[in-house]
Structure formats: C-alpha cells, structure tokens
Amino acid sequence: MSDEVKLSPVEEIKETSQYLRGDIPEELVDGQTGFGKSSVQLLKHHGTYEQEDRDGRAERRANGDKETLNIFMVRTRIPGGKLTSEQLLAELDLCDELGNTTLRATSRQGLQLHGVLKTNLKESIRRINDIQLTTLGACGDVNRNVMCCPAPTAGPIHDQLQKLAAELANHFAPHTSSYHDIWLTDVETGEKTKVTDDVVEPIYGKVYLPRKFKMGIALPDDNCIDIYTHDLGLLAIIRDGQIVGYNMLVGGGQGVTPAIKKTYPALAHRMAFVRPAQVIEVAEAVVKVQRDFGNREDRKQARLKYLIADWGLSAFKAKVEEYVGYPLTACEPDDVTDVDHHMGWREQGDGKWCYGLCVASGRILDNDEMQLKSALRAICRELKPGIRLTAQQSILFADIAEADRSRLEELLRTHHVPLSEQALPVRLLSLACVAWPTCGLSITESERAMPGVLTELEEELTRQGLEDEQITVRMTGCPNGCARPYNCDIGLVGKAKEKYTLYVGGRTAGDRLSYILKDLVPRDELIATLAPVLARFKSERSDGESFGDYCHRVGAEALQALCCG
Ligand code: SRM
Ligand code: SF4
C-alpha cells in the first residue's frame, strides 16, 4: 500500500495561488458574470462567495436562459460585533447601491451583503475598507470573525473581553498583500505589489489552515456566543471582580453531513486554564497544531474536532504544550450557567442605556409591514448610538442618553418596527440561517420559514400556558449548522424538500448536544409534532426544570414514542 497523501483539490489551489491571488485580478475584469473554479475557492478568503439567485433560476431556465446569473455574497467580519453608527449607515448604503437592498446580520456577529454583481464586487469591498472594516478572513481556511459577548456594560470585564476579541482578530488576520492589491489599488493605473515568496504568513504559511477556524469569548453567566461550538473558546474566569484568566476550550463544531457517518457535531473540550498574558501564544499554538496536523486530504474531516477525536484530548494538549514550550494548567471549575439575549432596555452602569432590538433572522430590510432599514438609518443619524451585533442576529444600540430613550422607541414605532418587549422569550432567542434563495447548499427554507414557524410555536406555547418559558429554537436549511441547531432546546434542520429533522434535548446554555426526536417532519407538521412533548413537559417537569433539561432527562425513547407512536 502506498503512503502517498492525496491532498484535497483546495490544497493545491491555495498552494499555487501566491498567497490567495491566483487568477482573481485577471478574471475580475474578463467580462464574465462569474469566476473560474479555483478563484471561487480563493475568493472565500477575501470574504466573498459566488452564488446564484435560486428563486430566479427556474424562471430563467423556463425562459430558455441556460446561463447562470452569478451574484456575490460579501461578508464583513466585525470582531465582537462592535461597530459605529457611521459604519452601519455605510453598510446600509452599500446594500441599497450595490446589493439586493437588504443587509444581513449573521450568527457570528458579522454583516453580509447579498446579490452583489461581479462588476460591483471591487467597489463593495473597497468601500467596506474605506470605513475601517474588512472582508479579509471573513470566510476561507483561516480564523474567522472572533465572537465576544457584545453587551456594552461599563466596567473592566466587558471592555477587556472586547479588547481581547480585537487583539485575537488582528493577530490571526491573514497578512497577504493580494487582498490590498486586488481590491484596494486602482486597476486603471496598473499599480500592483508583486507577490513574491518573501510575503510571509507568519501563522498560516503558504497553504493556510486545513479548514475554517472559529474563536469566541464568553462569560460563565452569559454564554450568548455559544462557546461550546467554537474551535477555540475562551471562558473568562472572574475572581474579586477581575478577569484572572480563561478556561480554553477546543474542538467544538456543528457541521455534519448525514450521508457521511464519520461527520458529526461536537462540543468543545475543556483543555486548560490560561492567564491573560498567555492567551495569544497558547491560541497560536492551538492554531499551528491544527495547521500542521489537521486533515488536508478530506475536507469533511478537516476541522479541529476531528483531529482531537483522532488523537484524544490529552495527546492534543501535550502537542500544544510542546508548541508553546511549557506545561498548561488544568481548567478552573467554572463553566457556563446561562445566556443573556441582551434584548430590551438595560442600564450600562455609566449613566447610559442600551437597547436590544430583536431582528427576525438578522434580515434588515424595508417592506410594507415594517421599515427596519429606514428605522436604523434614522436612529443612526439622529442618536448616533454605538452599534453591537449579537450572536442571535440582533442589534444593540449602545450609549443612549436617558433623555433619548423615548425618541428611540418613537423612531422604531414610526417605522412599524415591533419593540423587543412585544416578543415572547422564544422569539428573542431564536436563530435561522440564510438558506434559500442565496445559499447554494440549502435544501429547505430557513430564514423565510422561521417567522411562520415561530408564530405557530408561540400560539402553541400560549395555548399550553408555557409562553414565558425560555426556549431556544434554531432552524437551518441544511445540516451544516450555520444557526447552531445541535445544542439548543429545539433544532429544526432541513433534510429533504420541505422536511426537517427535529432535535430536542440540548439547552439554552449550549453545553449539551441534542438528539433526534423525529426525522423528515414536513414543515407544516413541526409544531403539531412538538405539541405532545410540550404538554408532557408541562405536566411532568420538576420544579424550575427547563424544556431542554426535561427532554434530556426523559430521553429519546420515551419522547420519540410520544410523537411517532
Ligand atoms: Fe455557515 C457554509 C452562511 C455561520 C457552518 N455558511 C456556509 C455558506 C457560505 C454556504 C456555502 O458554503 O456555500 C453560507 C452562505 C449563505 C448565504 O447565502 O449567505 C453560510 N454561516 C452562514 C451565516 C451567514 C448564517 C446566518 O444566517 O447567519 C453565518 C455567517 C457567520 C459569519 O459572520 O461568519 C454562518 N456556519 C455558521 C456557523 C455558526 C457559527 O460559526 O457560530 C456554523 C456552525 C459552526 C461550525 O462552523 O461548525 C457554520 N457554514 C457552516 C458549514 C459546515 C462546516 C463544517 O465544519 O462542516 C458550511 C459548509 C462548509 O464549510 O463546507 C457553511
Ligand atoms: Fe446554507 Fe446550510 Fe448554512 Fe443554512 S445551514 S446557510 S442552508 S449552508
């Protein structure tokens, strides 16, 4: 048997790309609506995906148009979801001028433009950079957007966490000059930096990481960023009001391909306690171990979770210790206990207020029912709040003066935007991925199906007197898990045309995986399938027991019999 390693095709594309340049500059101006196969892979590292409007495809085919009409998604990475009113206003202008007139807040505190034509790609990316934001490393085989609890709470803790998010984002940002050359220099003048081998990617090297890599920072009593789903999570350890260090968690991930048995969602493992001064170097060692030993043959096995499963946690930790050059200390006993959705009015602790506005699946648009985009513009122009994006695809307006609170509410009402106080807890904690029509991997609807599903669920909860329960519902249009559906109370995962796999038994704190309650449930039967389980929960729950904990305690067999019998 030959020991020869057959690298995945993406590895060769990266290797020969001269640090992510490839043929992008030439293809950008070749008059076609899309890019060649290699460039499509490289473009992800620049923060953009080539897509198609799948709604329009059938119509185009019916009209005899065989050509694919390419459109692009452009993702801005925003560490900790922290931006200014001016930056949000500029992104809103971009979605109107160069996108499909909607802006999307993502499940990782980023922003996405959809429907950008190739001819507008360069201008979109350049204008995002003009406002001191970037798309570099928002996608691709690098460290993605660093997540962090977005609460603008005054005092050293939240401030320190946000600073760490920015520091990690900078430290792990790709260094290649091709991003600057392709998107930020003037093609007309032909001005270009020649990419040579002296361009150094000190952390990633020439072939970058085997796969995407994700980092997040959380607090034990507020795991709003879902730390157990990250490749590398940092849980702040607080003693006497000070951060004394972090429990470092490694190897979380949600993606699964049901047809490939060796793929699965995994919770991160608690690896070590690191002091604040050690965080960057230990994180770098983790990333480098994944760089050097992660699977580069099979992209379905390339995430850090599979390397750790393969080696075992202690062997992985030993290798990280070898890279960092000293032994690591065991984790502190602290763990996650709760999640704050940050919605509604909160005092920041510095005399200012923060308002959390629940945005349905993160989609910012104007329509006949409500003018969310216009409301955001009015708020940003008049009140100029700090903006924070949450991990639940919603928006926080920070630093609001007491005197401006009623004006903010008035601006929302004038534009028919429902206040968060009007929503039940189940809506405030919900997440849905983009799915149709832009996501090329979607099997079912998600973002567009979620409002109806939530309304039905709210009605059922109210009918059963459970409307005040804190239940997390997350929906995705395929099993890749972009809305983190495998560790919450109720997960709805698109599996076949208009059919979902229904998961229960995770929990809001996000530290437990769920199990399948029923597979291939038609969309219009989702709530009817859940109803008997909710009823049994109501009658059998122990004192203060949550829905997720109840489903976990009672177990798959009993509940499956209830709704499949
Ligand atoms: Fe995701 C691929 C959207 C968060 C796991 N994700 C995609 C693509 C790019 C589809 C593609 O490859 O062609 C989707 C673009 C759709 C579109 O039209 O915009 C997409 N993912 C999203 C977003 C926008 C969902 C949302 O509605 O908010 C999120 C963008 C976050 C950001 O700002 O960076 C998004 N994706 C996630 C998360 C959640 C998280 O990271 O907290 C996950 C699960 C965690 C994880 O990574 O394990 C996630 N996305 C995936 C996967 C499966 C990865 C795996 O290990 O198997 C894919 C497919 C892939 O990579 O091959 C994927
Ligand atoms: Fe697309 Fe699937 Fe991710 Fe949803 S979960 S955005 S359908 S890849």
Which pLDDT value is given to residue 563?
Answer: 83
Active site residues: 75, 144, 212, 214, 433, 439, 478, 482
**pLDDT tens column, 343-384:** 999 999 999 999 999 999 999 999 999 999 999 999 999 999
Quote the pTM value: 0.97
**pLDDT tens column, 250-263:** 999 999 999 999 99
**How, if at all, do strands 147-148 and 215-218 pair?**
parallel
**pLDDT tens column, 56-105:** 887 888 888 878 889 999 999 999 999 999 999 999 999 999 999 999 99
Residues in the chain: 565
CATH 3.30.390.30 for domain 427-564, yes or no, is: no
Inform me whether the pLDDT recorded for 188 exceeds 60: no
Gap between the Cα atoms of 450 and 190, Å rounded: 48
Name 283's Cβ contacts closer than 8 Å, sequence gap at least 6: 168, 171, 172, 215, 232, 234, 248
Mean pLDDT over 190-194 rounds to: 52
Inform me whether the pLDDT recorded for 196 exceeds 60: no
Cβ 59 vs Cβ 437: under 8 Å: no
Domain segments of the chain: what residues? 427-564
Residue closest by Cα to atom 4 of ligand 1:
482
**Strand, coil or helix: what is 530?**
helix
499, containing H or E segment: strand 499-504
Query: Ligand 1 in contact with 482 (CB < 6 A)?
Result: yes
Cβ 469 vs Cβ 490: under 8 Å: no
**pLDDT tens column, 210-252:** 999 999 999 999 999 999 999 999 999 999 999 999 999 999 9
Which pLDDT value is given to residue 194?
Answer: 52
Q: Higher-confidence residue: 106 or 60?
A: 106
Mean pLDDT of the chain: 95
Cβ 431 vs Cβ 489: under 8 Å: no
Inform me whether the pLDDT recorded for 550 exceeds 90: yes
238, containing H or E segment: strand 232-239
For residue 257, the ligand 1 atom closest to its alpha carbon is 57
Residue with tokens 């965080």: 279
Per-residue pLDDT band for 1 (boundaries 50, 70, 90) equals very low
**pLDDT tens column, 264-293:** 999 999 999 999 999 999 999 999 999 999
Name 234's Cβ contacts closer than 8 Å, sequence gap at least 6: 164, 215, 216, 217, 218, 227, 246, 247, 248, 249, 274, 279, 283
Q: How far is the CA of 436 from the centre of ligand 2 (A)?
A: 9
**Hey, which of 482, 484, 488, 492 would you mutate to test ligand 1's pocket, going by the most ligand atoms within 8 Å of its Cβ?**
482
Which pLDDT value is given to residue 69?
Answer: 85
